Amino acid sequence: MSRGKLIFITGGARSGKSNFAEKTAMSLGKSVAYLATAQPLDKEMAFRIKKHREKRLNTWETYEEPIKAAELVSRLGLEKEVILIDCLTLLTSNLLLRDEDKVEDPRWQEEILLEIKKLAEVCYKVPAQVIIVSNEVGMGLVPDNTLGRVYRDILGRANSIIADKADEVFMMVSGIPLKIKG
């Protein structure tokens, strides 16, 4: 069984990442699994999730999985033509904050990156086409607190892990996709 293509889409907030990812998914196949990683932890995030759900095609199957993305992709990758993961940004945050007391522990940080490496391997090997969306958070100000700095650094490394495995990488700038790999 041949493997599908892994496509990574990154960029700043509100740069058009999700919109481009959804259009790409539509062009790749009819059988699409949408893997959402957001958790409705406050009213604003609950509203965002609601808007994303309403915008999504009703022919797509949505799976809400904030932590165990690799396991879900491993299964869905054999059943679906396309898997869209939106987004690595929140998945990484969810993994990091599972145990807030360990955030500064380098061993905990490495465990998180091992989870991301596992996800990258699974996404690379499955027969489905996989699209992963993430934010580029390392191009702005240095966060003024430890959690912010640790998160920025881990997400930067997570993005690098996915980009390294990806067949194609796009950077979204003001709604314009720039192909930087593949």
Q: Which positions are annotated as active-site residues?
A: 52
β-pairing verdict for 129-135 and 82-86:
parallel
Other beta carbons within 10 Å of 180: 12
Question: DSSP secondary structure string, 131-160?
Answer: EEEEE--TTSPPPSSHHHHHHHHHHHHHHH
Strands in 82-86's sheet, in edge-to-edge order, are 61-64, 32-36, 82-86, 129-135, 6-11, 168-173, 176-181
48 three-state secondary structure = helix
Decide: 101 and 146 in contact? Cβ < 8 Å: no
Chain centre distance of CA 30: 21
